Amino acid sequence: MSYIEPELDSHKILSQMLASNEFGTFFGVSSKVLKEVWAALTSATGESVTHVSMEIGADNDVYNPVKDVLREINIFDHENKLVSKFNDKILYGPAKIPNYSGGLGVLAGDTLKSYADCHLPALGISLLYRKGYFSQLVDSEAGQIAHATQWRPEETPHLYLLKDPADPRKPLQVEIPFFDRGKQIKVAGNLWMKLEAANDLSYFVPEILLDYSLPSAPEWIRKAAQHLYESRSERAKAIQRRLLGASVLPVMKALNITSKTIHLNEQHGVAVVLHLIARYLQEKLGDDYMMKSTDQEILETAKLAANWVVYTIHTPVKAGHDRFYRDMYAEIGHPFCNRILELLAEEGENPDFFNFTSLAMKINRAANGVSRMHRLVTQKQFPQYAHKIKAVTNGVHHLTWISAAKAELFDIFPEFKDWRRNPGVFAKAEGLKNNDKFRTYLEQAWQTDTEKLIDFINQMLIEHRQKMHTTWIDPPNFFSHLKDSERDLSPKVMTIGFARRFSTYKRANLVFEDIDRLTGIVKNNNWPVNFVFAGKAHPADEPGKHIIKNIIDTQKELYEKSDGLIRLIFIPGYDMALSKMMVAGVHAWLNSPKRPLEASGTSGMKAALNGVPNISTMDGWWVEGYNQGRTGWKFGRECEISNACLSEDLCTLLFTEDSDSFYNLFPQILKTFYDETCRHELIDKCVMNIALNGPVFNTHRMAAEYAKLYKIKLAPEMERRLAAFRKLYDSNRPGKI
Ligand SMILES: *Cc1c(COP(=O)(O)O)cnc(C)c1O
C-alpha cells in the first residue's frame, strides 16, 4: 500500500512516477522529486550527509516500493512502449545486487531507506563488485563451497550508469590517485546509481556504486575490486579500502554534492581523511604543500578534517579492524600520505603496522558504537577517546522486514494506523494484549509465516536430491535422502531459527555442545524441535567454515539420538529474502554470541518486529530489548565488561558454561509452546515484542538519533517527526543500560 494520493487514477499515478529528464522511466521517480532531492544534496548550506560503506544490502526482491505501486495500479497493457518496458523491467527483471556480506551491508541499506522515508538528504557511496561477495553451495562432505556470483550491472534494473553532462554519450568518470612502484597514476572509475525510494515515493536517497573494472585500470586494481572483502592478499585488501576512501571527495565533486558530514559506516573508507587533510594543506600552502608542510601543520589540519567526519564503529572483534604493514602500504600510498599515517595511524601494540581504526577514532567530530553495551565496550577499548564515544543503537527498516501477513494484521487494527510512516504506533500493541481478536489474528499471521518457511524447506530438501546428479553436490541435509513420508518438516513443531555470518564468536554450534543433554530434554517430554540454520563463512575463515561443516555433521546424530524428534536443517545461500522468511516464520530466534563481542546484531530485531521472541545471551541489542523477559529469554554468563572478557580465543568462548545455561532454560521454552496452559505466555511475548521493541529497534528512530548527531537541519515537518521518534528512545540515556 502506498501513500500516493489515493484519489488519483492509475494513469496519473504512473505519470507521477516518470521523469521528464534523462532518467525518464528509469527509476519510477518524478522530475519534481528528483529536483527536490538534488537541490538538497547540492545546496550551498551543505545540510546533507554522505554515507560511506564498504557494502550496501538492499535487495529489491525483498523491498521495492516502486514495484509495489506498479503492482497496485496494475497498468499492464499500456500502449506506450516505454511504459510497458518500464513495467517489465521493474516487475520481472533481476532484483539482486550481491554487494553485501552480512549485517553491516544490510544495516547500510536499511539506514538509507529510512533516510529516504524521513526526507533526510543523503548520498550513499560504496563499490561495485562484479563478482559480488560469493555464492554459497553446501555439500555434505565438502562443507561450504564458494563460487563467484556472476551478475551484470548493465542488465540490472534500477542501476543507472551516470553519463558525463559534457558529453552524454560517455559515462561520467571519477579519477582517483594511486601510487604504483614509485609512480603516481590515476585510476578511472564509472559511477552507477541506484535509488532507495521512500515508501510513498515522495523522496529518495541515491546510492553511488563505483566500478573500477574498466580496461584502462591496471590489472591489480581490477582484481582488488572484483570481490567484496577481497582476501587473496593484504595488499589487495588495502587497495580495496583505498578505492573506497579515496573516491569519496572525487564523487562528491563530480556530482556537486555539498554535504558537510561524511559518515563512515565502519572504518573501511577512512582514507577519505587523508584526502581532506591534503586538500586543506593545498589550500593553505599552495601546490607544493607536500614539500612545505610541517608535522605541526599536518596535525592542525587534521582537526579541520575531523570536522567533516562522523564515525560509527561496528565491532570489538579484531578481524573487523584494518591494520596494514607500513612497508606494504608504502607501495600503494604516496610518501606524503604515508607521512600523514605515521602521525595519525599509530598502532600501539605493533609499530610495524598502520591502524586504521585508530585513525578513524582520532579524526572525527563524533564517534559512536551501535548499542549501549557496545558503547561501554568501545570506551574500554579506546580509553583515550571514552569521553566522546556515544551510542546509537542499531535498528532495522520495519517496512522491509515485517512480513506480508503481519503487515496485513497491522492494517486491520486501527490502533496501528499510519504504522508505515510511524513505527512509534507499535507501542499500542500493549493495549491489545488482552484483545482476543488481536491475539487470534496474530497467531494466524504467525502460522501463515511458519507454513511459508516450512514449505520452502520441504521443497528445498526434495530439490537438493533431484539436482544432485547434475550439480554433483551431495545434499547438505541428510533428510533429503529420507523417504517421502519421513522427510517433511511439520509447521506444528516448535521451530527455532539461527542465521548470520559464521564467525567463531557467534558460536552457531553452542547449543549442540552436549548432544546427549539436548536430546534428553526433548525425549523426556516428547517435544519435537526443528532447528533451522543458515549463514555464510568468509571463504578465508577456516574456523567459520569448520562450524558449518560441524552443523551438518551433527544432523544425523541429533535425529537418531532424539528418536527423530530433533531436525537440524541447514539452508544454503543466506541472503535477505531468506532472512525475511526465517525471522518471521520461526517460533523463536536464537542468538548465542559470546558476550560482549556482538556489538549489536540486527537479525533479532527483525524477528522482534514480527513479534518473534529471541532466545539470546545478554549481548548487543538484546541487553536493551530483553525487557525483563517480557519479550523473550536470556541465557549465558553476564560478565562485567572488562578488557579481559574481550578475548576471542577458543578456550575463552565459554562453550561449556553457556550451553549448560541454555539447557537449563530450554525445557521452559518448549513448555510455552507445547503446554496448552502456558501457550498464552508465548503469545504475550509476541505481543510485547511488537509493543516494546517495535517502536525502538527500527531505523526511523535510529535515523532520528543520527540526524541529531550530524546536527543536520531538516524541514520543520520532518524535524517534528524525528523529534517524536527521539522521544520514544534515547540510546544515551544516563544510568544503567
Ligand atoms: C540481518 C541480516 C544479517 C545480520 O544478522 P546479525 O544477527 O546482525 O548477525 C546478516 N545477513 C543477512 C542476509 C541479514 O538479512
d(CA 501, ligand 1 centre) in Å: 7
Task: Work out the average pLDDT over 394-401.
Answer: 98
- Looking at ligand 1, which residue's alpha carbon is closest to its atom 1? 603
What average pLDDT is seen over the chain? 94
Question: Which residue's CA is the closest to the ligand 1 atom numbered 11?
Answer: 102
Kindly report, residue by residue over 406-440, the tens digit of the pLDDT: 999 999 999 999 999 999 999 999 999 999 999 99
Of 587, 586, 566, 581, give the one whose Cα is nearest residue 682: 587
Question: Span 514-526, mean pLDDT?
Answer: 98
Atom of ligand 1 nearest to the CA of 535: 11
Binding pocket residue ranges, ligand 1, CB within 6 Å: 102-103, 106, 500-501, 574-576, 579, 601-604, 606
pLDDT for position 441: 98
Contact 548, 499 (CB under 8 A): no
Whether the CB-CB separation of 176 and 246 falls below 8 Å is answered with: yes
Say what the pLDDT of residue 3 is.
Answer: 47
Task: Please give the distance, rounded to the nearest whole angstrom, from the Cα atom of residue 508 to the centre of ligand 1.
Answer: 14
Q: Which atom of ligand 1 is nearest to the CA of 604?
A: 7
* Total residues found in the chain within this entry: 737
Residues 6+ apart with CB under 8 A from 679: 672, 673
Best of 63, 602, 606 for a ligand 1 pocket test (most atoms within 8 Å of beta carbon): 602
CA dist., res. 379 & res. 732, Å (int): 13
Q: For the chain, what percent of residues have pLDDT higher than 70?
A: 99
Q: How far is the CA of 482 from the centre of ligand 1 (A)?
A: 31
Atom 12 in ligand 1: residue holding the nearest Cα: 102
Question: How far is it, in rounded angstroms, from Cα 507 to Cα 522?
Answer: 22
| Residue extents of the structural domains in the chain | 401-417+425-698
Cβ proximity of 42 and 121 under 8 Å:
no
What is d(CA 393, CA 373) in angstroms, rounded to the nearest whole number?
9
Pocket test for ligand 1, best of 600, 603, 621 (most atoms within 8 A of CB): 603
For 287-305, b/e burial (b = at least 16 CB within 10 A) is: eebeeebeeebbeebbeeb
pLDDT digits (tens, 9 = 90+) for 161-207: 999 989 989 999 999 998 887 888 999 999 999 999 999 999 999 99
Quick one: pLDDT at residue 4?
53
Closest C-alpha to ligand 1, atom 4: 103
Interacting residues of 360 by C-beta distance below 8 A, sequence separation 6+? 264, 267, 270, 273, 309, 311, 313, 367
Of 371, 374, 579, which is best to mutate to test ligand 1, by the most ligand atoms within 8 angstroms of its C-beta?
579
CA distance 89 to 722: 35
> Ligand 1: which atom is nearest the Cα of residue 107?
1
For atom 9 of ligand 1, the residue with the nearest CA is: 500
Instruction: Give residue for cell 555434505.
Output: 140
Closest ligand 1 atom, residue 579 Cα: 15
> Which residues have a Cβ under 8 Å from the Cβ of 154 and sit 6 or more positions away?
161
Atom of ligand 1 at shortest range from CA of 101: 11
Q: What percent of the chain has pLDDT over 90?
A: 84
Ligand 1, atom 3, lies closest to the CA of 103
Distance CA 616, CA 33 (A): 43
Long-range contacts of 294-297 (CB under 8 A, 24+ apart): 295/343
CA proximity to 358, closest of 336, 340, 331, 332: 340
Q: Compute the average pLDDT of residues 631-656.
A: 92
Give the tens place of pLDDT for each residue, 459-486.
Answer: 999 999 999 989 899 999 999 999 988 9
**C-beta of residue 340 within 8 angstroms of C-beta of residue 358:** no
Higher pLDDT pick, 544 / 86: 544
CA 586/CA 446 separation, integer angstroms:
8
Distances from the Cα of 556 to the Cα of 148, 459, 553, 563, 564, angstroms: 30, 20, 7, 11, 9
Evaluate if residue 76 carries a pLDDT over 70. no
Confidence tier at 643 by pLDDT (50, 70, 90): confident
Q: Which residue has the cell 539447557?
A: 663
Closest residue to atom 15 of ligand 1, CA basis: 576
pLDDT digit string, tens, across residues 122-140: 999 999 999 999 999 999 9
Residue type, 432: L
- The CA 106 to ligand 1 mean position distance, Å, reads 7
- Per-residue pLDDT band at 5 (split at 50, 70, 90): low
Q: 311 falls in which pLDDT band (50, 70, 90)?
A: very high
pLDDT of 2 reads 46
- Render the burial of 445-463: b for 16+ CB within 10 Å, e for the rest: bbebbbebbbebbbebbee
Ligand 1, atom 5, residue with closest C-alpha: 603
pLDDT digits (tens, 9 = 90+) for 297-308: 999 999 999 999
* Atom from ligand 1 closest to the CA of residue 580: 15
Residue 578 Cα: closest atom of ligand 1: 13
Q: Which atom of ligand 1 is nearest to the CA of 506?
A: 9
Q: Which atom of ligand 1 is nearest to the CA of 602?
A: 8
The predicted-structure confidence for 318-354, as pLDDT tens digits, reads as follows 888 999 999 999 888 899 999 999 999 988 888 899 9
Centre of ligand 1 from the C-alpha of residue 47, in Å: 31
Amino acid residing at 156: T
Give residues with Cβ within 8 angstroms of 377, minimum separation 6. Answer: 316, 369, 596, 599, 641, 646
Q: Give me 573's grid cell.
A: 545461500
Residues 6+ apart with CB under 8 A from 42: 255, 256, 257, 258
Characterize 513-543 residue by residue with b for buried, 16 or more Cβ atoms within 10 angstroms of its Cβ, and e for exposed.
beeeebbebbeeeebbbbbbbbbbbbbebee
Handedness of CA 592, 597, 603, 608 (dihedral sign): positive
DSSP string over 242-256: HHHHHHHHHHHHHHT
Give one DSSP letter per residue of 129-154, joined into a string. Answer: -TT-S-EEEEETTTEEEEEPPP--GG
Give me the pLDDT at residue 7, please: 60
- Residue in 55, 59, 106, 612 to alter for ligand 1 test, most ligand atoms within 8 A of Cβ: 106
Cα 571 to ligand 1 centre (Å): 14
Atom of ligand 1 nearest to the CA of 620: 8
Above 80 in pLDDT, residue 112?
yes
Cα 107 to averaged position of ligand 1 atoms, centre (Å): 8
Q: What ligand 1 atom has the least distance to the C-alpha of 603?
A: 7
| Alpha carbons within 13 A on the beta-carbon side of 714 | 23
- Minimum-distance ligand 1 atom for the alpha carbon of 591: 7
CA 582 to ligand 1 center in whole angstroms = 11
Report the pLDDT averaged over residues 34-47.
96
| Burial class of residue 182 in the structure, from the number of CB atoms within 10 Å of its CB (0-12 exposed, 13-18 middle, 19+ buried) | exposed
pLDDT of residue 21: 81
The string of DSSP letters for 651-702 reads GGS-HHHHHHHHHHHHHHHHHHHH-TTTHHHHHHHHHHIIIIITTTSBHHHH
- Residue 436, CA atoms < 13 Å, CB-side half-sphere: 0
Task: Count Cβ atoms below 10 Å from residue 286 Cβ, excluding itself.
Answer: 10
Predicted pLDDT of residue 1: 42
Residue 209: enclosing H or E segment and its boundaries? strand 204-211
Ranges assigned E (strand) in 41-172: 49-53, 122-127, 135-139, 143-147, 160-161, 163-164, 167-171
The alpha carbon of 194 and the centre of ligand 1 are apart by a number of angstroms equal to 22
The predicted model gives 680-706 an average pLDDT of 98
User: Ligand 1: distance of its center to the CA of 228 in Å?
Assistant: 16
483, three cell numbers = 523417504
d(CA 357, CA 107): 20
Task: Name residue 207's beta-bridge partners.
Answer: 124, 194
Instruction: Determine if the pTM surpasses 0.85.
Output: yes
H/E stretch holding 223: helix 219-224
Using alpha carbons, list the distances in angstroms from residue 146 to 30, 143, 316, 507.
41, 10, 27, 21
Q: Are 343 and 250 in contact (CB under 8 A)?
A: no
Give the mean model confidence (pLDDT) for residues 6-12: 70
Tell how far the Cα of 103 is from the centroid of ligand 1, in angstroms: 4
For the chain, counts of helices (H) and of strands (E): 27, 22
Amino acid at 68: D
pLDDT band at 560; cut points 50, 70, 90: very high
CA distance 438 to 431: 10
401-417+425-698: CATH topology = Rossmann fold (3.40.50)
